Amino acid sequence: MNDDTGVSAAVFALKPEWADLILSGTKTVEIRRGRMKRMIDRMLIYRTGTGLIVGEARVKGMHAAPPETIWRGYGTESRIPKNLFDEYAKGADRLYAYRLENPIRYGKPKTLSDIGLKRAPQSWCYLPETGPAGPEPAMEGLN
């Protein structure tokens, strides 16, 4: 899914309830207002309020469409109530639905510094592919 830039993962900041639903396999779609410039293979899950990356999921694909199309196609899988979806989507021409699979809850959560980040992403940030020395974050996508 990634292009030749070497990006294959991003850290997504998620409220605890959404992080837990993804890691349980119940929430299989993450909806975002912002489009990633480069596609990723893995979503690392940063659980807000904890300072920890608690797991990851494989990103199977992304669909961009107007909010009502996203709701009809992905509302159930996103597990977000319609009223919260409408609030989130207000004023957006397009939303982006990221389809997730194979969630993994880490036995030992990682700190941001474990993966080379100095601060938490407000929404998400890319991580280039890692080598033996570990990731070198590219702080794009911080809103």
Question: In the prediction, which pLDDT does 113 show?
Answer: 87
CA distance 48 to 59: 20
Buried b / exposed e over 41-62, threshold 16 CB at 10 Å, is ebbbbbbeeeebbbbbbebeeb
Q: Which fold has domain 7-128?
A: 2.30.130
Q: pLDDT by residue (tens digit) across 66-75? A: 999 999 999 9
Place of tokens 């021409």: 93
Question: In the prediction, which pLDDT does 134 show?
Answer: 41
Where do the structural domains in the chain lie, given as residue ranges? 7-128
Which regions of the chain are under pLDDT 50?
Answer: 1-5, 130-143
